Amino acid sequence: MAYNIDKTYVFLDRDGVINKDSPDYIKNWSEFEFLPGSIEAIKLLSNNQHPVIVITNQSMINRNLSTLDNLEFIHAMMKNAIQKEGGEIKDIFCCPHLPEEDCECRKPKPGLIFQALKKYEINIEKSVMIGDRAKDIECAKRAGCGYAILIKTRNYMRTMDSLKEKKLTPDYVADDLLDAAGWIMRIGRNSS
């Protein structure tokens, strides 16, 4: 497979990175709220040769809290709102399974990233995964992503403890998605 070496693909977790997370899940569009700077960050990345792909666990489907149609509507509205501001989400891969189903696509397993690799010409060693939980960083490392960025949330200390137990370290800890996008832009300039 021929890779486009100019492109660094960016994998994004959704809840807690693009939009506010909820312990009750984001079950419909009215519960979806973009985090400050997230649309701007996606615009910055997608307009600078960094295609954005969302990689998200959505067990609310198999918990029967919402439907696949609702999830697809949320994603269509999210993509549309970002596109209106000049950004682009290239694709979305999601796992609807419960943890106990032990599927290959639920993070921290790298199955969703592997699905993206089958569909697109991605140089995994140049790619970046951005998430707010230990499972996102572990998924990135297991998939072979070149970089893994952790977004600081209120669970930051617990996440760092979990990563330390697994002997995993993020390549960068960002305050938010816009900070992470800025870091990606800086490393891109430094490597050229």
Q: Which residues are catalytic?
A: 13, 15
- Residue 92's DSSP bridge partners are 54
- Beta carbons within 8 Å of 133's beta carbon, 6+ residues apart: 13, 16, 155, 159
Residue 57 near residue 95 (C-beta atoms within 8 A)? yes
Query: Cα(119)–Cα(131) distance, rounded to whole angstroms?
Result: 22
Query: Cα(119)–Cα(102) distance, rounded to whole angstroms?
Result: 23
Query: Using CA of residue 164, residue 170, residue 176, residue 179, what is the dihedral sign?
Result: positive
Query: Cα(24)–Cα(184) distance, rounded to whole angstroms?
Result: 32
